[in-house]
Amino acid sequence: MDMSMSAQVYIMSCYQFPRVPGFNLVTKIGSGTFSEVYKAYRFVKSSKQVVAVKCIVKNELSASTVDNIIHEIEALKLLRHPHIIQMIDFSWDSNFIYIIMEYCEGGDLSVFVRSHKQLQEKICKSFLCQLASALQYLRQHNIVHMDLKPSNLLLTSRRNPVLKLADFGLAQSLKNRQKETSFRGSPLYMAPEILRRESYDASVDLWSTGVILYECLFGKPPCSSSSLKELVEDIQSKATIIIPTTKDISADCKDLLERLLQKDPNKRMTFDEFFNHPFVRISVASSNVAEPEAKLVFERARNLDKLNRRSEAVILYRQAQTLLNRLIPAVDIAMVRESQIREKLEVCSRRIQDIESAENVLKQNTLSAEAPLSRDLPTKMSPTFQELHSLSSTTPDLLSSLEIGLEGVQYDGEGQHAVALERYKAALEKLIPLLRSESKGLRRELLRLQITLWMERAEQLQIFHDLHQSNLEELQSGDASGYCSLQ
């Protein structure tokens, strides 16, 4: 009896989920050779966030496997794209490495294909264009995935799914003409040149893409055998991949398959040819590519609006408008409904108008109180500031600091906001210590009021400056919005 109970305790302990600080693991949703993936929750302020946690057993890993994992983490940290899985965080303890990622409740593409047997061409085209968008982004960063397969393509939901490329453990940077010779990937989706132990380049991802498209269309990969040996021999052979005639597919689709599934890499289509192929290009600008980013930008704008960070919200509302307007001509796929797009556009327009109207009123009030000032200060100052200026005439440090701030107001009124911000900061740096030492009285109250006004304006200008710098950096990195146009 005791032995039986001990055995039960041991068995139960073997099935306990890992404990990740800050996360509650609830369900295992996938597993690999050295890792398991769990659905988990974490609480952020008052809301519950759903995530996926990849738990990798450390003590069973070789040095090369650890290198692959580190590479996956580094890759995921840098990649920002609507069709690439987003890494949220990572950590480790004595037993596991934990990678926390966005959760995709739709499972992976392999399960989706198995449940539907064969997918309609328009659905295959939709998924392919989303994958193409992610691949173009990877090419821009000289990254080859090396392990493209349906199980590494996650879906955000079962209904109206958005595809997300995942599992970068085998990814590595390879420029277009660089060659590699190591054995990488999954045999069913592995390019023939890899199986032949020949040198290969980035086009191995194109072969894998062709295999994935073939499997989505016909329910199984083009090369499949009862044994690994037969499979490898089939892929290695020079026999041409035959496109089945049991299912009607368009001429463009058939042409793309034939050009992707060339066993000779020198005859295989290039990435540029792939991105510009009619089967890909026609729907690349369609809703299934732009919709996730438009939704993300729209939600960011709404969140900033709710936080009363309205100047920033207007900028993002305008970005959302641009993205949503792109979708209107392309609403030919069920993933996006025109009414939803137009509803979001209406919200953007209304909030931009409301915020700008409120800001114009505030601006007019501010300008009436402190019009753009010249060096002839007495005739240009607001009554309250004129009084403060007069009361400060016997205090040189205070007077000179106020005049620095007035220079900021002048530059501000001329639209030279960067210089204005620098002047406001310089004035505040001197005025705040002076306020602390100022005796109680009218001058102190007027000084406190002026410091508050300039501090609020400096904060607004700093927000604009930071947002502008952030946008510039994103544009320079080629990732301003996570949206890659393939046209």
* Catalytic residue chosen out of the listed positions 108, 147, 305, 479: 147
**Does 38 score more than 70 pLDDT?**
yes
Q: Higher confidence at residue 391 or residue 182? A: 391
Partners of 92 in beta bridges: 97
**Does 14 score more than 70 pLDDT?**
no
CA 232 to chain centre: 37
Tell me what pLDDT residue 253 has: 95
Lowest mean pLDDT among 79-83, 185-189, 400-404: 185-189
**Does 6 score more than 50 pLDDT?**
no
* Third-level CATH fold of 288-365: Methane Monooxygenase Hydroxylase; Chain G, domain 1 (1.20.58)
- How many residues are present in the chain? 487
Whether domain 109-284 has CATH 1.10.510.10? yes
Q: Are 156 and 166 in contact (CB under 8 A)?
A: no
Tell me what pLDDT residue 484 has: 33
pLDDT grade, residue 344 (50/70/90)?
confident
Tell me what pLDDT residue 13 has: 41
d(CA 54, CA 31): 9
Scanning 307-378, the segments in alpha helix (DSSP H) are 310-327, 338-369
Tell me what pLDDT residue 46 has: 67
* Matching CATH number, 370-472, of 3.90.650.10, 1.10.10.10, 1.20.58.80, 3.30.110.70: 1.20.58.80
Express as a percent the part of the chain with pLDDT over 70: 75
Tell me what pLDDT residue 363 has: 55
Q: Cα dist. 196→36, 182, 472 in Å?
A: 31, 11, 45
pLDDT grade, residue 346 (50/70/90)?
confident
State the span(s) of the chain assigned CATH 1.20.58.80. Answer: 288-365, 370-472
Q: Which residue has the tokens 């073939």?
A: 214
CA 50 to chain centre: 17
- DSSP characters over 107-125: -BHHHHHHHHSS--HHHHH
**Does 4 score more than 50 pLDDT?**
no
Tell me what pLDDT residue 332 has: 41
Q: Name the superfamily (CATH) of residues 12-102.
A: Phosphorylase Kinase; domain 1 (3.30.200.20)
- Residue among 260, 220, 35, 34 at smallest CA distance from 113: 220
117 annotated binding-site participant: no
pLDDT 10s digits, 278-337: 898 744 444 444 566 677 778 888 888 888 777 778 878 887 887 777 665 444 444 445
The reply to whether 255 belongs to the active site is: no
Q: Which residue has the tokens 């109206």?
A: 160
Q: Higher confidence at residue 190 or residue 62? A: 190
State the span(s) of the chain assigned CATH 3.30.200.20. Answer: 12-102
Express as a percent the part of the chain with pLDDT over 90: 17
Q: Which helix H or strand E contains 154, and what residues bound it?
A: strand 153-155
pLDDT 10s digits, 102-161: 999 888 999 999 999 899 999 999 999 999 988 988 887 778 888 899 999 999 888 788
Residues 432, 433, 434, 439, Cα dihedral to 10°: 100
State the span(s) of the chain assigned CATH 1.10.510.10. Answer: 109-284
How much is the average pLDDT of 380-385?
63
Q: Which two tokens stand for residue 50?
A: 């759903």
C-beta atoms surrounding 484 within 10 Å: 23
pLDDT 10s digits, 434-484: 988 888 888 888 888 888 888 878 877 777 666 655 545 544 444 433 333
d(CA 291, CA 462): 31
Lowest mean pLDDT among 69-78, 83-92, 250-259, 358-367: 358-367
Tell me what pLDDT residue 262 has: 93
Q: Which two tokens stand for residue 138?
A: 């990877």
Tell me what pLDDT residue 48 has: 80
pLDDT grade, residue 210 (50/70/90)?
very high
**Does 250 score more than 90 pLDDT?**
yes
Q: List phi, psi (to 5°) of 129.
A: -65, -35
